[in-house]
Structure 1
Amino acid sequence: MKFETLAIHKGNLITDKNRPVVQPITLSTTFEHGNEGGMLYTRAGNPNRIALEEVIAALEKGEDAAAFSSGNAAGTAVYQALEPGSHIIAPDDMYHGLHNSMVQLFTGIHEVSFVDMSDLEAVKSAIRPNTRLFWVETPSNPLLKITDIRAISVLAKNQGAILACDNTFATPVFQNPLLLGADVVMHSSTKYFGGHSDILGGALVTKEKNDFWTKIRTVQRVGGAVPSPTDCYWLARSIRTLAYRMKGHAEHALILAEFLLNHPKVEQVFYPGLKSHKNHEIAASQMSGFGGIVSFMVKGGAEEADRVVSRLHFFMNATSLGGVESLIERRAAVEGPDTLTPPNLLRVSVGLEHTDDLLEDLNQALG
């Protein structure tokens, strides 16, 4: 089955004898012993979660998937599955929630080196004898740096380490890290999988069911940070339109990026679909589309960037991304005093509104 067909049919597990077209929500927290599905308790397994995990695994070309209650819970499960004392190489530009998880929850348990993952020599220099995880986020948040997944996978294999890739920005519509050499793929399903800014969730997908994956499944089952049946239902429902929504997001993002690139009030634009992007060729070699996130720096500093945001009508000043509506925020203000994000950088989650309206709005706000 092609992507669009998988997205519609793989996550629709029909077990009801009445054969409804859409899988119902199974709210029961416990199941009768000896049932055909082998289910015991909803923390360990639920029909809606099984359906969601099956469709995510299929779309990412993986052997299995594990759904979590948030993207942070999914990412943290990878760190929990590592042996204590492991060294992690992670991006210097990455989602601050997972960055905080590494430095706040695992200090004294693991060691972390934050490096520019788009610089292969910098990554090589960071490798230690106890390096056990290469964490990649490409495109990165919020500077949209591109990491060469194939090249990092070679380093990981030579080290006997795991390569995990946060694929939230690209989604499996545009990028399949497992086919490029990654061992595990992570998603904040809150974002494009959900697509409507109303569901919290996360997911991990594995290339193969090995010992490390067994540990992740143990973290999921014993830790219990699993999504509710209702959340799984709505995520599976939203995934059915993922391919078409992502095509719209990417098309609109490129239009906005090209507009901003030529605007006199804009200092710099970050979007891997632009040929001017530092790693455009690498992005084009591993992505079939460039996603719906555009970041740009406003001339005049943080105060001017805030003024631009305050004048917008169709871009809501809000955190998160991936919904049908356009969002914008001055990212450094959200990430806190330790951020490396430029203070005048605005990150835009480009929505599915008509681009004429979005361009007119940006133009009047920039002034």
Structure 2
Amino acid sequence: MHKNNNWHKETAMIHEGYDSKEHQGSLAVPLYQTATYVFDSAEQGEKRFAGEEAGNIYSRLGNPTVSVLEERIARMEEGQAGLAFASGMAAVSAVLVHVTKANDHIVCSRGIYGCTFGFLKILEEKYAITHDLISMGTEEEIEKAVKPETTCIYVETPINPTMELVDLQAVVNVAKRHNLKVIVDNTFCSPYIQTPLTFGVDFVLHSATKYLNGHGDVIAGLLVGNDKEEMAKLRGTVQKDFGGVISPFDAWLLLRGIKTLPVRMDRHAANAKILFDYLKNHSRIEEVFYPFDDQHPQYEIAKKQMKTGGGLISFTIKGGKEEAQKLMNHLSLVKLAVSLGDAETLIQHPATMTHSAVPKEEREKMGVMDSLLRLSVGLEHMDDIIADLEQAFQFI
């Protein structure tokens, strides 16, 4: 496997974990579309199951295509090991099950993905694993939320969909004082823009469906850890026995998408900045939320943690749900769809879509109001995106 610690990240995204000499000279990573593997002998099978000999057994336990992906994402996030899952939620649930037991407590950033919130409710109802959602605005606030039974701190930054930021160094400082694990959902940034492990975080995860794939045709999740032994334990217990593993074909598609991540993210970010400048003074907009807005109250945190402002913008329109739906219904080029990170520009209404599972009172505490829309800025020409938005604004 190719490893070169001197490579820049853009180079590692194309080459890390793969040596064509080991695969009959194939330039592209081969797709090993197989469920199981043939042993040379019964004795070899015994040794592999006993862990005495390296090698493939069954694709739920390991697959050559998937292994390249796991090595590549580990390098991209500057971690020790990676694991690939069938969805982002499979990665979320696996790591939270790994770091908790019955009656434990989790401190969470107050804005989290709706299905993550749903999983936390399952943990609470079935295993009395409680959680508190806090703004994490200061180190003191985080400290105050820690209880004797707290085992981990779970963070999204930027927060979905309000674009609030969490100071990762402040979180890590508190975690170290209490021997807590820190988990960061880095989906909104991708490892090209932000690498939480470099701040001392323990685990970073992605819905790889989004920017890492970038083409809207894969459901997948990735997890990277800073401790190789702990990641091996997670692989051999929670991942193996829960079984939420990625298919070889989806891993192959992800590897193809990751090769172009840097150029795509640069374009997403450049387009988002242009769109932000258009929206911030629009007569039908109340407020725009974008991490690299120099008036953003957490702009200094954004500059410290993020390479660019990313490709996501949220904004509130003058009005409520009715006006938001009118705007969405009159768009043509901009597609009405949940998800993000695709080549196409996508818009959605979090209150009735991605965060609809969150009770209204809790949702509004997060800042997810009926007037809030989230826009994933695509790769189209900005003049065309703005023209489509402008004609739709005329209907509200």
Answer whether TM exceeds 0.5 for this pair: yes
2:117 pairs with one of 94, 99, 107: 99
The TM-score normalised by the length of structure 2 is 0.89
2:105 pairs with one of 73, 78, 87: 87
Does the CA contact (< 8 Å) of 1:13 and 1:51 recur in 2?
Answer: no
Does the CA contact (< 8 Å) of 1:261 and 1:268 recur in 2?
Answer: yes
Q: Which amino acid aligns with 1:84?
A: A
Q: Determine if the alignment matches structure 1 residue 346 to structure 2 residue 346.
A: no
Q: Indicate the SS of the match to 1:363.
A: helix
Does the CA contact (< 8 Å) of 1:13 and 1:47 recur in 2?
Answer: no
Aligned mates of 1:354, 1:173 — CA distance in 2: 22
Does the CA contact (< 8 Å) of 2:193 and 2:307 recur in 1?
Answer: yes
Partner of 2:85: 68
**1:30-59 deviations in whole A, cap 9, x for unaligned?**
112349851111100000110000000000
Does the CA contact (< 8 Å) of 1:88 and 1:135 recur in 2?
Answer: yes
CA RMSD of aligned residues (A): 1.6
Aligned mates of 2:167, 2:235 — CA distance in 1: 25
Does the CA contact (< 8 Å) of 2:286 and 2:315 recur in 1?
Answer: yes
Does the CA contact (< 8 Å) of 2:123 and 2:130 recur in 1?
Answer: no
Partner of 1:304: 323
User: How much has 1:17 moved relative to structure 2?
Assistant: 5.2
1:357 pairs with one of 359, 381, 384: 384
Q: Indicate the SS of the match to 1:172.
A: coil
Superposition pairs of residues 155-304 of structure 1, within 5 angstroms: 155-211=174-230, 214-215=233-234, 217-304=236-323
Does the CA contact (< 8 Å) of 1:142 and 1:331 recur in 2?
Answer: yes
Q: Determine if the alignment matches structure 1 residue 25 to structure 2 residue 31.
A: yes
- Cα pair distance change 1:217/1:134, threshold 3 Å: farther
Aligned mates of 1:129, 1:314 — CA distance in 2: 52
Q: Determine if the alignment matches structure 1 residue 143 to structure 2 residue 162.
A: yes
Aligned residues: 367
**1:62-117 deviations in whole A, cap 9, x for unaligned?**
00001100000000011111232221001221111111111124434211111112
Does the CA contact (< 8 Å) of 1:246 and 1:292 recur in 2?
Answer: yes
Does the CA contact (< 8 Å) of 1:91 and 1:136 recur in 2?
Answer: yes
Instruction: Name stretches of at least 5 consecutive residues in structure 1 with no aligned partner.
Output: none
Which is higher, the Rg of structure 1 or of structure 2? 2
User: How much has 1:118 moved relative to structure 2?
Assistant: 3.2
What is the identity percentage for the equivalent residue pairs of Structure 1 and Structure 2?
38
Partner of 2:3: none
Q: Indicate the SS of the match to 2:192.
A: helix
Larger CA deviation: 167-176 vs 13-22: 13-22
Does the CA contact (< 8 Å) of 1:77 and 1:216 recur in 2?
Answer: no
Q: Which amino acid aligns with 1:41?
A: Y
Q: Which amino acid aligns with 2:369?
A: P
Larger CA deviation: 204-213 vs 348-357: 204-213
User: How much has 1:224 moved relative to structure 2?
Assistant: 1.1
2:8 pairs with one of 2, 9, 24: 2
Aligned mates of 1:96, 1:119 — CA distance in 2: 24
- Cα pair distance change 1:151/1:267, threshold 3 Å: same
Q: Which amino acid aligns with 2:89?
A: N
The TM-score normalised by the length of structure 1 is 0.96
**1:150-203 deviations in whole A, cap 9, x for unaligned?**
010010111100011000001110111000121100110000011011100001
